[in-house]
Structure 1
Amino acid sequence: MAGGLLTDEEIDTALAALEGWRHEDNALLKDVPVPQESHRWLSEAVMNEAEVLDHHPEIERGQNGMRFRLSTHSAGGVTARDVELAARIDQVLDGGARDRG
């Protein structure tokens, strides 16, 4: 995966290793069923990972869970940074969150 926008083929290859993620509207999306009381800590853990990459996801909170949307707006779609952040979000969801400080 070179710098800049990824091709559909490169995105498909990346998605094969990212469980539950999909490519939609020039972004990577993942819906996660989590209770509302977990929204705050999960958002904070994901943002800790995002800060490391200097890349920030869109996070939507709903009654039945959360949706993560990753896209590099300056590039107009999905880049390698989005794929890397998706993998880091999966690590957070699997209990591998980075401690702050």
Structure 2
Amino acid sequence: MRVLSEEEISTALVSLAHWEHRAGALARPTPTDDPAGMRAAVDGVTADEPGHVAVRPVPGGLVVRVATPGEGVTETDVELAARIEQTIEMGGSDSRPRPPR
């Protein structure tokens, strides 16, 4: 997997409005009243790429971070972030959204 350049990451973030690039990962705060349910929903849509997603509880929700272990941000991570975003927009539904094209 090829690590994306800063310019490529900036371009990808245009379509991921709630995400930002920090510390070598894409990150997004996720406000929720049901952290366990949201975590399960995130896990459900990212299960095919183990190790790329880290979820940390914070007051009022979760912070989701996506990166390729030991590498940084790759196209796979951008695709995972888009899946996660779609799940969050669906209210944490555990149905699997179609991957973006």
Return the TM-score normalized by structure 1. Answer: 0.84
The answer to whether the 8 Å contact 2:24/2:72 transfers is yes
Identical amino acids, percent of aligned pairs: 33
The answer to whether the 8 Å contact 2:52/2:69 transfers is no
Secondary structure (helix, strand or coil) at the match of 1:61 reads strand
Match of 1:73 in 2: 69
- Listed as ranges, the gaps of 5+ residues in structure 2 are 97-101
Match of 1:6 in 2: 4
Larger Rg belongs to: 1
Q: Indicate which of 61, 75, 83 corresponds to 2:78.
A: 83
- Count of residues paired in the alignment: 94
More helix by share: 1
The answer to whether the 8 Å contact 1:21/1:28 transfers is yes
Match of 2:99 in 1: none
- Listed as ranges, the gaps of 5+ residues in structure 1 are none
Mapping for residues 8-87 of structure 1, pairs under 5 Å? 8-35=6-33, 38-54=34-50, 56-74=52-70, 76-87=71-82
CA drift at 1:17: 0.3
The answer to whether the 8 Å contact 2:67/2:74 transfers is yes
